[in-house]
Amino acid sequence: MPMPSEPLPLFPPGFLWGAAASAFQTEGAPDADGKGPSGWDAFAAAGRIKDGADAARGTGFHERYREDVALLAGLGADVFRFSVSWPRVVPGGRGPVNTRGLDFYDRLVDELCAHGVAPAPTLYHWDTPLPLEEAGGWMRRDTAERFAEYAAAVAGRLADRVPLWMTLNEPAEVTLLGYALGEHAPGRRLLFDALPAAHHQLLAHGLAAQALRAAGAAQVGIAVSHSPVRAAGDGEEDRFAAGLYDTLTNHLFSDPLLTGAYPDEDIAALMPGPVADDLAVIAQPLDFYGVNYYHPMLVGAPVPEDAGALGSFAGVGMPEGLPFSLREVDAAERTDFGWPVVPDGLREVLVGLRERHGRRLPPVVVTENGCSYGGTDDQRRIAFLDAHLRALHRAVAEGVDVRGYLTWSLTDNIEWAEGAAQRFGLVHIDYETLARTPKASYRWYRDAIARQKGRPAG
């Protein structure tokens, strides 16, 4: 990918710039301030993190958050998207609130505000309290109801200083990787029987949105992953497979949120509970719609396993017997994760959402977009960010109401089941010492933000 030779075009006044992170990937301190275990803690303890990285230590954010807030201030960031650890606040998933756990987020929010960085917490970034997970997790309706109680407790403490809230992060990944394919916590392999996990997460979002607003939350949104899905061929079987995959990974989540209906009657019939009543709760008005984008997907008809074309979802191999197969996307550049670099896919996603949902689509914030590359002179990350921001600008020029961009991520972190080997950060983490070293991409992003705001770079 060519290196940028010209400054980025200017985004609209008031456009928000920032970075993102999550609790499990960064906080560490599993025994501090009364935190309980999560499903991901149990998954890690079972040896399911591939490189054996110490998720219990993370990046030391719990103790070193002031360093990271200073790094955000040095970027000129407007917003920091972090996540609140549900088991740090409600260790048992139900019952008493752990005030010491909430105290940590109180301190973090105060520190961000003192540095002029708006706090934007995500209430659920995959770390379900272990007692709830062991009772069935997102396969049970009770988990959604407990989530709403937790949301009310967090907002009751923080809503006076937090302008942006997100309920859930990437319910598609939780459903597919955690409950359908078994490669993420809780490690269940239910395939299509995992659909109730999607419904209960969506219900949790709706109930939490109600609880947040009742507690005085200013703006409420959600962070949903989206990928353009392209058919591997022009034949009817390939087009059907791609359409089904598109429905399961994109429209299964955006349609209930934005239209109050599932995209397919057959799928709706598989969902548990009073579905019509639940959909009325799920479709709470949103102040913004968060989009996480990484790369497109190429999908075709199913093939025999030995044909070598089953592909992967987020690096996870797909089992035989599914009604589709994933193929390699043709791309000149790939990240260290092996993901294809296709910047215009971001524009394609945003324009597609606008075309599908029209006025029902609220203002959009890109809540995640980033790449895994090693080294501190990370010129390929600079080229990635530059190309994706140019694609984002084209979407704005085409009429999509985009209000902000948050890159993933501020620092290197524990990349879930992949461990510490995949480095997504603008800031390098030495996992022996936990020392922070800003990379070349940090300085590039800092200068790009300064130019957008009319300030001198450097």
Q: How far apart are CA 422 and CA 337, in angstroms?
A: 7
Cβ(93)–Cβ(47) below 8 Å: no
Which parts are annotated binding residues for substrate? Answer: 25, 125, 169, 294, 408, 415-416
pLDDT by residue (tens digit) across 278-296?
999 999 999 999 999 999 9
Q: Does the CA dihedral 68-98-35-212 come out positive or negative? A: negative
For the question of whether the overall pTM of this predicted structure is more than 0.95, the answer is yes
The active-site residue, picked from 27, 111, 170, 173, is: 170
In a domain, 380, yes or no: yes
In a domain, 4, yes or no: no
Q: Which domain, by its residues, includes 431?
A: 16-452
Contacts of 83 (CB under 8 A, 6+ apart): 21, 22, 23, 24, 121, 122, 123, 124, 125, 127, 169
In a domain, 353, yes or no: yes
pLDDT by residue (tens digit) across 238-258?
999 999 999 999 999 999 999
Alpha carbon distance, N-terminus to C-terminus of the chain: 24
In a domain, 5, yes or no: no
Residue in 179, 277, 286 with CA at minimum distance from that of residue 224: 286
In a domain, 183, yes or no: yes
Cβ(122)–Cβ(84) below 8 Å: yes
Question: Residue 355 catalytic?
Answer: no
Which parts are annotated binding residues? Answer: 25, 125, 169, 294, 408, 415-416
Q: Which pairs count as long-range contacts for 383-386, CB under 8 Å and 24+ apart, including other chains?
A: 383/1, 383/2, 383/3, 383/4, 384/1, 384/335, 384/341, 384/343, 385/441, 385/444, 385/445, 385/448, 386/3, 386/4, 386/8, 386/444, 386/448
Average of per-residue pLDDT across 421-438: 98
Contacts of 307 (CB under 8 A, 6+ apart): none
Cα 203 to the chain's mean position, in Å? 18
DSSP state letters, 392-403: HHHHHHTT--EE
In a domain, 257, yes or no: yes
In a domain, 11, yes or no: no
What are the phi and psi torsion angles at 292 (to 5°)? -105, 125
Q: How far apart are CA 415 and CA 419, in angstroms?
A: 5
Percentage of the residues of the chain whose pLDDT score is greater than 90: 93
Range of weakest confidence among 48-57, 126-135, 351-360, 385-394: 48-57
Domain count, the chain: 1
Secondary structure element (H or E) that encloses residue 298, with its range: strand 297-300
pLDDT by residue (tens digit) across 142-178?
999 999 999 999 999 999 999 999 999 999 999 999 9
Q: How far apart are CA 412 and CA 414, in angstroms?
A: 7
Average of per-residue pLDDT across 440-450: 98
Which stretches within 39-92 are classed as H helix? 39-45, 61-75, 86-89
CATH number, domain containing residue 141: 3.20.20.80
In a domain, 279, yes or no: yes
pLDDT by residue (tens digit) across 308-347?
444 555 555 677 789 999 999 999 999 999 999 999 999 9
